[in-house]
Amino acid sequence: MIGAGDTLLRLDGVYTDIGRYRILHGVDLAVRRGRVTMLLGRNGAGKTTTLRTIMGLWRARRGDIVFDGQAITAMQTPRIARLGIAYVPENMGIFGRLTVRENLFLATAPRGFAQQDLDRVLESFPALKLKWDCAAGSLSGGQKQMLAIGRAIVEQRRLLLVDEPTKGLSPAMVDQLAAALLQLKSEQTSILLVEQNFQVAEAVGDDVAVIDEGRIIHTGDMAMLAADEALQHRLLGLSMATAL
């Protein structure tokens, strides 16, 4: 069972509206320290909305979001980021006209680059070294994704919010990404990961929450869900094990 002290991030009854539409209908979610929590669900279920709400990009109409004991529900995005939460959006959010170096530089506040920062990133994503001074927009999809994650980890973060990182990547890239995520987990970085690729979810995830139509319909152990195909079917529609 989830102990109170273990929880790094908690959402309590979070409602989010976009314009006139209610997307989240009372989301209850907990991310445990040092674990990878998977957020699964169909398209349009509210996964991205949840991440954006945590990050303050969309305001929660009701409910509480508590990060390491601190209420961040009404906090401005920059402050939330400075608390140690990094966000890797679905469209990667890299700055196409800035170089790879500049993209990473922006993520290192204010003291700038230190050698160990660079080493961490280049160790996980050596391909970025070749493109160091190229405009980020000229990178391939996989390389952009690596840059996006690299930017999120160039400094030690406490929580990563990652939205569908393997989307559109080749299998080799997917493996590289999964390895990077596992590496992060070993460094005690907590991750809330939205993923459609069930195999990655299985390989990387510790805990799982399934969201449907703006509500959490299942929480528990990832390994358990992975073993139970009938449950998968019920929660996620067709079995996602076939997705690549």
* CA atoms of 163 and 166, how far apart (whole Å): 9
CA distances from residue 61 to 74, 82, 92, 244 in whole angstroms, order as listed: 10, 23, 26, 36
In angstroms, give the least distance from the CB of 21 to another protein. Answer: 10
> Segment 50-79, which members bind another protein (CB under 8 A)?
55, 57, 76-78
> Segment 118-137, which members bind another protein (CB under 8 A)?
137
Strands of 7-18's sheet in order across: 21-32, 7-18, 60-67, 70-71
**15 closest CA partner among 149, 213, 148, 170:** 213
Among 110, 133, 172, 238, binds another protein (CB under 8 A): 110
In angstroms, give the least distance from the CB of 82 to another protein. Answer: 5
> Segment 172-211, which members bind another protein (CB under 8 A)?
none
**Pair 212, 43: CB distance under 8 Å:** no
Stretch that binds another protein, among 39-47, 104-112, 181-189, 216-224 (CB under 8 A): 104-112
Which residues form the interface with another protein (CB under 8 A)?
A: 19, 55, 57, 76-78, 81-82, 86-87, 89, 93-98, 102, 105-107, 109-110, 112, 137-138, 140, 151
